[in-house]
């Protein structure tokens, strides 16, 4: 549990959230282990979860066109989890990867009860739009 709190504290979305709140959040996280080359989600899938990379690397792409390569402590899928829209890109493990998955219903509860999470989400979205 302490390791998961540490991982969340290193992400842009959760870095300003109190440790006590993160400690209660970690029990809702699902841990996924993905082998290199495995598709995590496809472009066009409906997004109901966001992911934090605990270790490894994830490639975001549209076919062969690469949009980004993400590393440990990066977050992805947060746009779709907010709106339940389809995924804009495919996410593929670029190496063996451990992910922490947060599902939409829990995420909404956290945002409603913690303005710091909402503020952090807005900051991350603005940064990505720039």
Strand intervals (E) in 5-45: 30-34, 39-41
Phi first, then psi, for residue 79 (nearest 5°) are -65, -45
Give the predicted TM-score (pTM) of the model: 0.87
Per residue of the chain (130 residues), give pLDDT as tens.
789 999 999 998 888 788 888 888 898 899 999 999 999 999 999 988 999 999 999 999 999 999 999 999 999 998 877 787 899 999 999 999 999 999 988 888 877 877 877 777 777 777 767 6
């Amino acid at each position: 549990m302490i390791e998961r709190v540490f991982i969340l504290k290193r992400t842009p979305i959760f870095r300003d959230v109190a440790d006590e709140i993160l400690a209660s959040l970690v029990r809702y996280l699902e841990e996924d282990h993905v082998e290199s080359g495995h598709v995590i989600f496809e472009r066009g899938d409906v997004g109901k979860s966001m992911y934090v990379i605990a270790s490894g690397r994830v490639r975001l792409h549209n076919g062969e066109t690469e949009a980004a390569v993400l590393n440990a402590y990066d977050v992805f899928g947060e746009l779709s989890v907010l709106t339940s829209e389809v995924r804009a890109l495919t996410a593929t493990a670029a190496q063996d990867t451990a992910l922490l998955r947060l599902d939409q219903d829990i995420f909404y509860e956290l945002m409603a009860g913690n303005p710091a999470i909402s503020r952090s989400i807005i900051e991350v979205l603005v940064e990505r739009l720039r």
